[in-house]
Each structure stands twice: as structure tokens, then as C-alpha cells.
């Protein structure tokens, strides 16, 4: 199981003298159905950037939520500057110098930048807000950080990157000893990223400790001092950055070698299934052309907001198409709708299974059968064929190895991985030829991920299906796809084939053209 | 050991059936001890007839609730049906006094037509125009009530053939009141609809997650529309039955129905968030409410105070539902 000796954090040479700012001992946390953290040890020294690394669902978010005071641990000890501490709330943690910048912003969209900056810590004179002082302080803070933002701008008018800056400014506005950054560069341009790294170096110099979550290898090496790898709620290792090679990190993260984690999928492209020409859809997608053939996995990569999700949605008929042509198996589809596309053999797997994939109140059987109830296996003239339905759903549950295989149980009783399998099973009640999968492994554990990958392999190799894989998970794109389109601001920036699909190549198309070469 | 078993059983039945079994036990024991007439054959007979109206309207309300909305206009659908059917019958009978059968048939059709068209209006508003069910049915309640009052000038409509009330209102067959037969058919129809047809399955799915339903290729609009149309139709049927019982057409017969029908559904375990609920439990809950009110009458609790009690009961049911959800969440963790 343990691939290498886990080195206990406190004994690192760097901080041998200095006592840790924060020390977590044997922290455990349970959620309904899962143990999110299992006796995790973690410590943070003053003046270091400690990277947290792991898959989605490995426990990173839970860990930083506990440190930020948003969640309470079920077991274990938190020591802040040596003293045992319990954070009663985010506010309490913040008062003790811990600030967090989460991926989901904690901004009130209808308020201005300055109102947001001082939310919960408003300056007052007597019972009244001291608005001039607040404005001054906001200007000061933004100037100190070098953010070109107007304090009076309304947050909902800002771009995602600008909102991110507000969020960071909010975290840095007060005396700070611990700063938590959760994928802070996800929405930033190269230049903004540089600025952020400069800020992080400033914070380090002032003795703050920084907990940094990222999936990007080059960032880890650029600003990390130490790295802790989590997997399935357990700490697998804490390493000095100098000891952490890319290969080693991936192996630690997944618990297996890259080759074992991602199956090798044969590429035998056949009939052209989906052809999109000059597609303009919704508010994001501009003039996109792509093709997917039978027997191949085609990737669609890009940042949040690049329009990659919307391309999939437009092909399935849930994003309004304003221009362009969609052909499915050679037949033009002038007005796609979910019903029409399902009937034609296209299955769409939405990115968020709880909001779009499943009816969580209902059981597995009803969820699996939902898209195909009109078929004769499921309904007669007037009534449902429940016996036949039960049989078909039970077989699918078995095929996807949904555990426990109780199809009459509500889907909310299942783990994320098994819920995702239910979503995948929904598409299989008839024999589809093309799958459009949007983030099919989001928030599921490593074991379930491998199963999903193997399922994809089976679909492509044995059933000759085609898959359009829309993913923000770079390793997935790199190791599973045969061809990949990279999107930027609603347009297809590049098409990469086979060996051309490297991290460097894909990432270089994620950002503005001029600064793209800078990475690594 | 036995005690542990009992507690476990109580807990599981609470999770499964909600608060209703407990309430029924309290009801039967409480009122049964306080007032012997409560459990007499005659009283049970009366209650069973009296409960049919609320049961049918609760079935209607259940359709709206399952899809994640509700219908605050069920009361005025009753009223419109009552007024329109009474007027239609009275005018046919006034024209040709011998055509009783025709008058009754036409009257019922007219009433059902009026009530169902209100359901159609609700359906169009909610499903096509995307008005929230709350606003749509609240506005419809005002429209319907206004129309019913306008048509009658606020006075009851008389002149229906006596045979109408004698058969559908007070008639009995094999010792069972006529409205009970109608209600049994409605209950059975609802059971089949919700458990054995695609439409029923889609109602649950749309109430549980309308986005997921749309992505599964379901035409959510048409099914939402149908839910409100059927709701209007069933409420209207309840209106016809109640008109027969009262032997007059009245504009204010359904005033308490929105609250009582929602109460019956919630006590019967229909989630206000949509997507869950069983026919049998709702029927039991409707009977429970009716029986409870009957019990309060028997022990001479004033009708004004009864409204207070019903309100308290409804809040209690919602709170218990919340407790139950937390229980279920806890069971999940094991």
C-alpha cells in the first residue's frame, strides 16, 4: 500500500528550529456514507508554502475547511502555535489569523468590492457605517496588493479573475498568519498568476504559512516548499519539494503507476458519428468545429468558462444553437433536443450528477430507467412493465458493479462513485453509439475512477462507441484521449493528436496567446 | 431485548411511514376514551362519508405537490364547480322539468368543465409561462372566487333536482355511502397512475429533479401541465360530490380546502420539495384529519379553536418530517 516511507512533517530540516504554526494530529471526519479524513497528520511552518496534493475527493477540501473553521473534525487535535484550538466558525478562525480563498467564492454578488472586502468587519462610528473610512481602507488594500480594481465596482460585473482578486484581497486585508489558497490560479491569466506568486512570497517573508492546493505540476515546483499527498482521506506522504518528481507524485496520488491507473485504449476510428461545423451556441461558444468517430475518445479541454461544457450541451440540445451545423451519423440535426438525440443514440453525461444527473429522492431502478421508459421493454400500451424494468436495471447495475447492488434503494444512500455509475447506466438501457461525458470522474474516489476509465475502454474497444470527453482533469485528457481539442474563450484553439497531447502542449493553449509560452 | 426490538420497530416505522401511525393511535385512543360515541358504527359511517371530499381533493393536491409545486386554488375550483353545475342543473330543470337525468348529466359536465379549465389555466401559467405555482394558483384563487361570487351574487344557488343530492350525496349501495364508491375509484386510479404509468413516474422525477428529467428526454412542460390539469379535474370532482351533499351551489364551500389538503398531503408524507409521497398514506392522513375534526366536534371544541388545532397539527407534521429527514441521514451514515 505505502509506496514510500511517509516522512512525518515536523521533522523536516527546514523548520527544525521553528515551532509549527499549525499542527494537526490524527484528524478524522465522517460524512454520510464516507470517511472523508482518516487520521490525517499535517503541519505548517511559518514562512513555508505547503502544497496539498490529491485527487478530487481525496480529502483536501475537507482538510482546509476544518483549518478554516467551516467544518468541525470528528476526532483529532488542532494546535495553533502550540496551543490546542477549536475553531467555532470561519469568523473565529479568521480572528485568529487564518484566511481562506476557496474555489467557490464567498462574495455577495450584488455588493461592491469594498463592501465585500470588509463584510463582517465593517468600520463603524457608533451605530453607523463609516463609509468614507471603509472606502479609503479598501483603496489602500487594493493598492498595496497591486490589483487594478475599483472599490466601488459591483462584484457581479467583474470577471471571474477579478472576483478571484477580490477574494484574495479579502483574505489578505487583516493580520494574517495562515493563508489557504484552493486552486487560486484556475481563473487567472499568466500575468495575474505572476502577481499572485509575488504576493505569496511577500506573505512568506512576513512569516505567514501558506497552504496551497493545486493540480498543476509546474506551480507545485515553482512555489512549493513541502508537499503533502492525500488519497482517499489518508495522508500518504509528506515530502520536501526537492524529493518530489512528477512521476512520484502521480504514483502517490493514485496509488498506482500511471500505466495501471489509466488503461491503454486502442484507437480504431471508424464511422464518423458526430460532426460539428461552425457551431455558435449560447453566450460562450463561437464558431466551433469538431468531429468524433466511432472507436475513439476525443478530448475537449480548456479552463472553466472556455465554453467546453457548452459545446457538449449544444450537441445534446440543451444550449440554444444560433449558428452552425450538427450532423449525427451523417444525418443533419437542425434542431437537437434531448429526446431526439437520445433516440438517435447520443448519451449526455452531465458534469454535476446531483443537480442534473439524478433524481436523488428516487431509487436506482427508477433513475436508470428514466430516459428510456417509452421503449417497449419498459412500457406497454398503458402500464409500465415493472418486472422487465427490474430485470434490465438489475443487469445494468451488475455490469457497472454498483455496490451494494440494491436497485430499490434511494440513490442518495450511495457513495459518489456509485451515484456516478448510476448516471452512466442511465445511458445504457438502449445501445448508444456516442457518449458526451462532461467531467465523468468529478468528485469520486480513485477506485471508482479506475472503474469508470475501464468502462470507457470497454465501450470504445468492445462496442465501438465514440466518446467525447470534456474534462478539466488534465491527466485524464493526457492519458485517455486519442485526439484532443483545446478551447479558449469559446473557440477551438488547437487540435492535438496522439503523441502531441502533452501537458505542455495542452496548457499552452489554455491562456492568452502572447503569454502562453511562459509556463514550466 | 424485547424493549430494544420494540424501539427499533418504532424507529423504522417512523422512518418508513412518518408521523401518521403515531397520530392515528393517539387519535383513536384519545377520543375513544374521552367520548364513546367516537368509535360507534354510526359515527364511523358518517366520518367515512364526510372524509371522501377531503380525500379526493388531497389526491388532487398531491399531484401538484409531487411535481414540486402546489395548488392554492383547489378551494375555488370546488366553488366554481359547485356554482356552475348547480346553475346548469337548475336552468335545465326550469326549462324542462322532466329531463332530470339530462339536467344532472349536463350539470356535472358543466361543473367538471369549469373546474378543469381552471386547472388548465394553472397548468399553462406554471408550465408554459413559468409563473411560480405559488403566484399562479394564488391569483387563480382570487379569479375563481371572484367569478363564483359574481355569478351567484353571493347567494346559494337552489333549484337542482332532488335526485342529484339523493343519489350522489346521501345515497347508499349495500350500506356504503355513494361518495365512498367514487372516492375508491379515484384512489385506485391515482395508485395506478402514480405507480404503473409513465406519466406518474415522470411526475415524481420532475418533482425530484426537473433538470435531470429534462436531460433524460422528458418533456417536462407537458407533464407539469398535465399535473395541474389532473389536479383541477380531481378537485372539480370533489366539488361535484360536495354540491350533491349540500344540495346547493355555493361560492364559499372550499375556503379551507387548500390548507386542509396540503395538511393531509404533508401529514401523509408528501415532501413539500416534491418527488416523494404515497397514495395510501395521503388517504390515511385525509381520513385522519376528518376524523380528528369529528372527534373535536363530539367533545364540543369550538370550530374556531379547531382551526387553531389544525394549524398547530400542520406545523407539528412539518417539524416531524424534518426530524425524519435527519433520521434518514443518520441511518445513511451506518
- Same domain? For A309 and A457 the reply is yes
Kindly report the backbone phi and psi dihedral angles of residue A480, in degrees, each rounded to the nearest multiple of 5, phi listed first. Answer: -105, -30
pTM: 0.79
ipTM here: 0.83
Closest by Cα among B166, B156, B169, B177 to B245: B169
Decide if A356 and B216 are in contact by the 8 Å CB cutoff: no
> Residue B87 above 90 pLDDT?
yes
To the nearest 10 degrees (0 to 180), the angle between helices B41-66 and B220-246 is 160
- Same domain? For A338 and A289 the reply is yes
Q: What residues contact B331, with CB distance under 8 A and at least 6 apart? A: B15
Residues of B whose CB is below 8 A from A411? none
The residue from A430, A458, A485 where one domain ends is A430
> Is A351 domain-assigned?
no
> Is A199 domain-assigned?
yes
Residue found under cell 492546493: A213
Residues of A whose CB is below 8 A from B277? none
Decide if B208 and A357 are in contact by the 8 Å CB cutoff: no
DSSP B73-92: THHHHHHHHHHHHHHHHHHH
Decide if B204 and A383 are in contact by the 8 Å CB cutoff: no
Confidence of residue A185 (pLDDT cuts 50, 70, 90): confident
Q: What is the DSSP letter of A510?
A: T
Q: What residues contact A113, with CB distance under 8 A and at least 6 apart? A: A138, A142, A149, A150, A151, A152, A153, A154, A155, A158, A166
pLDDT in the model for residue B2: 58
B277 in contact with A, Cβ within 8 Å: no
CATH number reported for the structural domain that contains residue A243 in this entry: 3.40.50.300
pLDDT in the model for residue A367: 93
Residues of B whose CB is below 8 A from A383? 192, 196-197
pLDDT (average), residues A341-348: 91
Decide if B201 and A384 are in contact by the 8 Å CB cutoff: yes
The residue from A378, A396, A430 where one domain ends is A430
Residues of A whose CB is below 8 A from B273? 361
- Same domain? For A70 and A117 the reply is no
Decide if B332 and A413 are in contact by the 8 Å CB cutoff: yes
- Same domain? For A87 and A11 the reply is yes
Residues of A whose CB is below 8 A from B213? 359, 370
A466 within 8 A of A273, measured Cβ to Cβ: yes
What is the per-residue pLDDT across A312-332, written as a single tens digit (0 to 9) for each? 999 999 999 999 999 999 999
Q: How far is A413 from chain B (nearest CA, A)?
A: 6
- Same domain? For A322 and A237 the reply is no
- Same domain? For A12 and A93 the reply is yes
> Residue A88 above 60 pLDDT?
yes
Chain A interface mutation, best of B67, B189, B216, B333, highest count of A Cβ atoms under 10 Å: B216
* Residue of chain A whose Cα is closest to the Cα of B209: A359
pLDDT in the model for residue B72: 95
pLDDT in the model for residue A4: 38
> Is A445 domain-assigned?
yes
Q: Tell me which of A74-88, A158-172, A246-260, B3-17 is least confident.
A: B3-17
Q: How many domains does chain A have?
A: 4
What is the per-residue pLDDT across A271-288, written as a single tens digit (0 to 9) for each? 999 999 999 998 889 999
pLDDT in the model for residue A517: 42
> Is A179 domain-assigned?
no
Question: Is residue A319 left, alpha or beta, with left meaning phi > 0 and alpha meaning psi from -120 to 50?
Answer: beta
Q: Tell me which of A73-82, A508-517, B298-307 is least confident.
A: A508-517
* CA distance linking residue A47 with residue A466, whole number of Å: 50
Decide if A373 and B198 are in contact by the 8 Å CB cutoff: yes
> Residue A515 above 60 pLDDT?
no
Chain B interface mutation, best of A362, A367, A390, A436, highest count of B Cβ atoms under 10 Å: A362
Q: Tell me which of A35-44, A215-224, A247-256, A510-519 is least confident.
A: A510-519
A338 within 8 A of A348, measured Cβ to Cβ: yes
Cis omega (within 30 of 0) for bond into A404: yes
Beta bridge partners of A49: A210
Contacts A–B by Cβ distance under 8 A: 87
What is the per-residue pLDDT across A397-425, written as a single tens digit (0 to 9) for each? 988 888 888 888 888 888 778 898 999 99
- Same domain? For A209 and A65 the reply is yes
Across all residues in chain B, what is the average pLDDT? Answer: 89
* CA distance linking residue A295 with residue A307, whole number of Å: 25
* CA distance linking residue B111 with residue B299, whole number of Å: 36
> Residue B63 above 90 pLDDT?
yes
A305 within 8 A of A472, measured Cβ to Cβ: no
Decide if A370 and B271 are in contact by the 8 Å CB cutoff: no
Confidence of residue A310 (pLDDT cuts 50, 70, 90): very high
- Same domain? For A334 and A396 the reply is no
pLDDT in the model for residue B114: 95
* Residue of chain B whose Cα is closest to the Cα of A341: B217
- Same domain? For A307 and A234 the reply is no
Alpha-carbon distances of B73 from A226, A252, B62, B76, B273, rounded to whole Å: 64, 61, 13, 5, 19
Residues of B whose CB is below 8 A from A359? 204-205, 208-209, 212-213, 275
Kindly report the backbone phi and psi dihedral angles of residue B100, in degrees, each rounded to the nearest multiple of 5, phi listed first. Answer: -65, -50
Residue found under cell 478524522: A28
What is the per-residue pLDDT across B216-261, written as a single tens digit (0 to 9) for each? 989 999 999 999 999 999 999 999 999 999 988 888 888 889 999 9
> Is A186 domain-assigned?
no
Confidence of residue B329 (pLDDT cuts 50, 70, 90): low
> Residue A187 above 70 pLDDT?
no
Chain B interface mutation, best of A340, A359, A372, A419, highest count of B Cβ atoms under 10 Å: A359
pLDDT in the model for residue B310: 85
Q: How far is B195 from chain A (nearest CA, A)?
A: 8
* Residue of chain B whose Cα is closest to the Cα of A350: B215
pLDDT (average), residues A176-204: 81
> Residue B121 above 70 pLDDT?
yes
Residues of A whose CB is below 8 A from B329? 32
pLDDT in the model for residue B228: 97
* CA distance linking residue B261 with residue B227, whole number of Å: 16
Indicate the helix (H) or strand (E) that contains A22.
Answer: strand A22-31
- Same domain? For A238 and A325 the reply is no
* Residue of chain B whose Cα is closest to the Cα of A387: B196
Across all residues in chain A, what is the average pLDDT? Answer: 84
pLDDT in the model for residue A435: 94
- Please give the grid coordinates belonging to residue B300: 364540543
Residues of A whose CB is below 8 A from B271? 361
- Same domain? For A63 and A203 the reply is yes
Decide if A366 and B211 are in contact by the 8 Å CB cutoff: no
Closest by Cα among A451, A411, A357 to A33: A411
> Is A350 domain-assigned?
no
- Please give the grid coordinates belonging to residue A43: 503541519
pLDDT in the model for residue A3: 37
B197 within 8 A of A374, measured Cβ to Cβ: no
Which B residues, 199 through 258, put their C-beta within 8 Å of a C-beta on chain A?
A: 201-202, 204-205, 207-209, 211-219
> Residue A5 above 80 pLDDT?
no
- Same domain? For A136 and A164 the reply is yes
Q: Which has the higher per-residue pLDDT, B28 or B66? A: B66
Q: How far is A109 from chain B (nearest CA, A)?
A: 24
Kindly report the backbone phi and psi dihedral angles of residue B22, in degrees, each rounded to the nearest multiple of 5, phi listed first. Answer: -60, -45
Closest by Cα among B199, B205, B254 to B232: B254
> Is A471 domain-assigned?
yes
What is the per-residue pLDDT across A91-103, written as a single tens digit (0 to 9) for each? 888 888 888 888 7
* Residue of chain A whose Cα is closest to the Cα of B329: A32
Spell out the domain ranges in chain B: 37-333
| High-pLDDT (> 90) share of chain B, % | 52
Residues of A whose CB is below 8 A from B192? 383
pLDDT in the model for residue B117: 96
> Residue B89 above 80 pLDDT?
yes
Residues of A whose CB is below 8 A from B209? 355-356, 358-361
Decide if A361 and B276 are in contact by the 8 Å CB cutoff: yes
CATH architecture of B37-333: Orthogonal Bundle (1.10)
Confidence of residue A12 (pLDDT cuts 50, 70, 90): very low
Closest by Cα among A224, A190, A214, A269 to A55: A214
Q: Which has the higher per-residue pLDDT, A247 or B103? A: B103
- Please give the grid coordinates belonging to residue A230: 492525500
Decide if A33 and B333 are in contact by the 8 Å CB cutoff: yes
Chain A interface mutation, best of B212, B276, B334, highest count of A Cβ atoms under 10 Å: B212
The residue from A128, A146, A174 where one domain ends is A174
Confidence of residue A520 (pLDDT cuts 50, 70, 90): very low
Which B residues, 137 through 196, put their C-beta within 8 Å of a C-beta on chain A?
A: 192, 196
* CA distance linking residue B246 with residue B84, whole number of Å: 14
What is the residue range of A52's domain? 1-97+193-253
> Is A16 domain-assigned?
yes
pLDDT in the model for residue B191: 95
- Please give the grid coordinates belonging to residue A441: 470522474
Residue found under cell 408528501: B270
Amino acid at each position: 500500500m505505502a509506496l514510500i516511507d511517509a516522512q512525518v512533517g515536523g521533522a523536516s530540516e527546514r523548520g527544525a528550529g521553528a515551532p509549527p504554526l499549525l499542527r494537526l494530529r490524527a484528524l478524522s471526519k465522517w460524512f454520510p456514507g464516507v470517511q472523508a479524513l482518516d487520521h490525517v497528520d499535517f503541519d505548517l511552518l511559518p514562512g513555508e508554502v505547503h502544497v496539498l496534493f490529491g485527487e478530487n475527493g481525496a480529502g483536501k477540501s475537507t482538510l482546509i475547511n476544518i483549518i478554516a473553521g467551516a467544518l468541525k473534525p470528528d476526532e483529532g487535535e488542532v494546535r495553533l502555535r502550540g496551543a490546542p484550538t477549536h475553531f467555532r466558525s470561519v469568523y473565529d478562525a479568521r480572528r485568529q489569523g487564518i484566511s481562506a480563498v476557496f474555489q467557490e467564492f464567498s462574495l455577495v454578488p450584488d455588493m461592491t468590492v469594498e463592501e465585500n472586502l470588509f463584510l463582517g468587519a465593517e468600520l463603524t462610528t457608533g451605530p453607523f457605517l463609516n463609509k468614507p473610512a471603509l472606502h479609503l481602507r479598501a483603496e489602500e488594500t487594493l493598492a498595496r496588493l497591486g490589483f487594478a480594481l475599483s472599490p466601488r465596482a459591483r462584484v457581479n460585473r467583474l470577471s471571474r479573475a477579478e472576483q478571484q482578486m477580490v477574494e484574495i484581497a479579502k483574505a489578505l486585508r487583516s493580520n494574517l498568519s495562515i493563508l489557504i489558497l484552493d486552486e487560486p490560479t484556475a481563473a487567472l491569466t499568466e500575468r495575474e498568476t505572476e502577481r499572485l506568486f509575488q504576493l505569496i512570497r511577500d506573505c512568506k517573508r512576513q512569516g505567514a504559512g501558506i497552504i496551497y492546493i493545486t493540480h498543476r505540476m509546474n506551480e507545485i515546483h515553482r512555489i512549493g516548499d513541502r508537499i503533502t499527498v492525500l488519497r482517499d482521506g489518508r495522508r500518504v506522504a509528506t515530502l520536501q519539494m526537492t524529493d518530489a518528481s512528477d512521476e512520484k507524485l502521480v504514483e502517490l496520488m493514485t496509488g498506482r503507476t500511471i500505466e495501471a491507473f489509466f488503461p491503454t485504449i486502442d484507437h480504431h476510428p471508424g464511422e464518423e458519428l458526430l460532426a460539428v461545423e461552425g457551431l455558435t451556441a449560447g453566450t460562450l461558444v463561437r464558431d466551433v468545429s469538431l468531429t468524433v468517430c466511432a472507436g475513439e475518445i476525443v478530448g475537449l479541454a480548456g479552463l472553466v468558462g472556455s465554453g467546453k461544457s457548452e459545446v457538449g450541451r449544444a450537441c445534446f440540445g440543451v444550449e440554444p444553437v444560433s449558428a452552425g451545423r450538427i450532423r449525427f451519423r451523417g444525418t443533419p440535426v437542425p434542431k437537437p433536443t434531448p429526446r431526439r438525440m437520445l433516440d438517435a443514440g447520443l448519451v449526455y453525461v452531465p458534469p454535476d450528477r446531483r443537480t442534473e444527473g439524478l433524481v436523488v429522492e428516487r431509487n436506482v431502478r427508477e433513475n436508470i430507467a428514466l430516459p428510456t421508459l417509452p421503449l417497449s421493454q419498459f412500457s406497454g400500451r398503458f402500464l409500465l412493465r415493472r418486472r422487465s424494468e427490474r430485470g434490465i436495471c438489475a443487469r445494468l447495475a451488475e455490469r457497472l458493479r454498483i455496490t451494494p447492488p440494491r436497485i430499490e434503494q434511494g440513490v442518495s444512500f450511495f457513495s459518489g462513485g456509485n451515484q456516478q455509475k448510476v448516471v452512466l447506466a442511465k445511458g445504457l438501457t438502449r445501445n448508444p453509439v456516442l457518449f458526451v461525458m462532461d467531467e465523468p470522474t468529478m468528485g469520486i474516489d480513485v477506485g471508482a475512477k479506475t472503474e469508470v476509465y475501464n468502462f470507457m475502454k470497454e465501450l470504445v474497444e468492445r462496442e465501438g462507441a465514440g466518446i467525447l470527453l470534456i474534462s478539466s482533469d488534465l491527466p485524464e485528457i493526457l492519458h485517455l484521449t486519442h485526439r484532443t481539442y483545446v478551447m479558449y474563450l469559446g473557440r477551438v484553439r488547437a487540435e492535438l493528436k496522439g503523441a502531441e497531447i502533452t501537458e505542455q502542449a495542452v496548457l499552452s493553449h489554455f491562456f492568452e496567446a502572447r503569454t502562453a509560452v511562459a509556463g514550466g | 431485548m424485547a424493549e430494544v426490538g420494540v424501539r427499533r420497530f418504532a424507529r423504522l416505522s417512523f422512518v418508513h411511514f412518518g408521523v401518521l401511525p403515531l397520530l392515528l393511535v393517539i387519535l383513536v385512543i384519545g377520543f375513544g376514551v374521552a367520548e364513546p360515541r367516537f368509535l360507534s358504527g354510526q359515527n364511523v359511517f358518517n366520518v367515512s362519508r364526510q372524509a371522501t371530499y377531503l380525500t379526493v381533493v388531497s389526491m388532487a393536491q398531491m399531484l401538484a405537490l409531487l411535481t414540486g409545486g402546489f395548488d392554492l386554488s383547489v378551494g375555488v375550483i370546488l366553488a366554481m364547480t359547485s356554482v356552475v353545475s348547480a346553475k346548469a342543473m337548475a336552468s335545465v330543470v326550469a326549462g324542462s322539468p322532466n329531463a332530470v337525468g339530462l339536467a344532472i348529466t349536463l350539470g356535472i359536465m358543466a361543473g367538471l368543465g369549469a373546474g378543469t379549465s381552471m386547472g388548465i389555466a394553472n397548468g399553462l401559467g406554471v408550465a408554459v409561462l413559468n409563473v411560480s405555482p405559488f403566484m399562479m394558483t394564488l391569483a387563480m384563487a382570487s379569479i375563481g372566487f371572484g367569478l363564483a361570487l359574481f355569478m351567484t351574487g353571493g347567494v346559494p344557488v337552489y333549484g337542482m333536482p332532488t335526485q342529484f343530492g339523493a343519489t350522489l350525496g346521501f345515497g347508499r349501495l349495500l350500506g356504503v355511502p355513494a361518495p365512498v364508491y367514487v372516492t375508491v375509484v379515484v384512489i385506485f386510479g391515482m395508485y395506478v397512475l402514480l405507480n404503473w404509468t409513465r406519466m406518474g413516474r415522470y411526475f415524481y422525477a420532475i418533482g425530484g429533479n426537473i433538470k435531470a428529467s429534462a436531460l433524460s428526454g422528458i418533456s417536462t412542460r407537458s407533464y407539469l401541465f398535465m399535473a395541474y390539469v389532473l389536479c383541477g379535474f380531481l378537485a372539480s370532482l370533489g366539488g361535484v360530490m360536495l354540491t350533491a351533499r349540500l344540495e346547493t351551489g355555493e361560492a364559499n364551500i372550499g375556503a379551507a380546502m387548500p390548507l386542509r389538503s396540503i395538511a393531509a398531503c404533508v401529514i401523509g408524507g408528501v415532501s413539500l420539495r416534491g418527488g416523494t409521497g404515497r397514495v395510501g398514506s395521503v388517504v390515511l392522513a385525509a381520513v385522519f384529519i376528518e376524523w380528528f375534526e369529528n372527534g373535536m366536534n363530539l367533545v364540543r371544541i369550538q370550530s374556531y379553536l379547531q382551526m387553531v388545532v389544525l394549524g398547530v397539527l400542520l406545523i407539528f407534521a412539518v417539524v416531524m418530517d424534518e426530524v425524519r429527514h435527519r433520521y434518514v441521514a443518520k441511518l445513511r451514515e451506518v
